[in-house]
Structure 1
Amino acid sequence: MNYKEYEVVCKLFDNEMEEIVWHYGFDQELLLEYYDILIFDKSVVGLNLSKRNLEEFPKEIKCLPALLYLNLDNNNLKSLPEFFGNLKDLKELSISSNKLEKIPDDISELINLEYLFLDSNNLKTIPKLIGKLKSLKLIYLDANYIEELPDSIGELKSIRNLGLMSNRLKDLPLSIKNLESLRRLDVRCNELYKLNEEILYIENLEEIHIDENLKSEETTKKLKKKGVRVLF
């Protein structure tokens, strides 16, 4: 693989606007113009490798222990390596619009991860160890082929935004009621024929996106009475 230029960027989540914004000029960030710099400079904190036609995960990334932000969007990655344990300081990982078929178990070692973007891939399952990501505030799993979520999803006590749109979910795990920090839930374009009553017990839920066929559901009506914004 030949990389001529690497942009170092910082991708931050704006809690108030609930949007993803790009921020340049972050202190301590470096501009990597040549591949050999990537190999030797271990102080890099943000790295954007989006739209590089990558088919393999660059193994050199494991040698960047200070990395906080990593963007690999819009490539051709089918798998991820088992070395995430080396990136314990990582706060944001974005691998949207690739061809991923599986998430490695050792992603659970990213104990400081706050934002995880895995939308528009070929994922069918989510590892049970996902529940170990205690710092996770946002996860986008939209536009995959996920048929079932593990019960451990309910262990994500810090999660505020959960994107599950356009999958193959027929039901949601009972443990979803334990997501005490959840503010926004999107389950549109799945195969849900009803909403779990457990959703009513999500204490801080503010907004839920569902399909039109669930509009008359009893749970939907109860959510509205609670003041939850129900969007179709």
Structure 2
Amino acid sequence: MRTPTGARERLVDTAMRLFGRRGYAAIGLNEIVDKSGAPKGSLYHYFPDGKEALAVEALARGSALFLATLDEALGSSRSAAEAVRRIGATLAGWMEDSKFRDGSPATTVTVEMAAISPAIRAEAAAGFAAWQARIAAALMRDGVPAARARELALLTVASLEGAMVLARAEASARPIRGVTRMLAERLETAVNPAGAPAPAKPRARTAQRPRRAAAGR
């Protein structure tokens, strides 16, 4: 990942990482400024509306980074299922490297602030929707009908975000690896439903024997 250079970019990047690790309420503005190395006073210069505005930008940056990871996986994979396997491996490695201290800023901040801050809620919703749209588009390219592709994209995003929460709780990548495997299998089945029972064919009508004419007719 590219190292942020400008003061504004460093503030946003630092906020994103700290919010992902410890949530919104536990992080103060002074800590963000100190750990970013940005000049004193730069935060209110770039974010005159304070912490909430910075959180919105941090969520947008986190969403864009995951979208880039998603695009890279989709671009180097033969199918959406293969791309999900790559993404799962990336997330598992990232969590292991951080010793399960890091998490998804989208999840940690949304859980705390969606009911309080309309701006944060809207940014989080936009990020989740963008991820789903990318996955749905890939599934449609694989031949999955649009409505089903959107359902599977929702399942994929919700499952991966939930698996990261479970990984932090267990201090293990097991939930991410297990969920990734199940998701990939589900996506493969949607693309190529081999082994699924074929729809029942209508039974051919048996020719009825003509009724014997009534006597006298």
- Between 1 and 2, higher relative CO (CA 8 Å, sep ≥ 6) is seen in 2
* TM-score of the pair, normalised by structure 2: 0.27
Q: What is the TM-score normalised by the length of structure 1?
A: 0.26
> More helix per residue: 1 or 2?
2
Larger Rg: 2
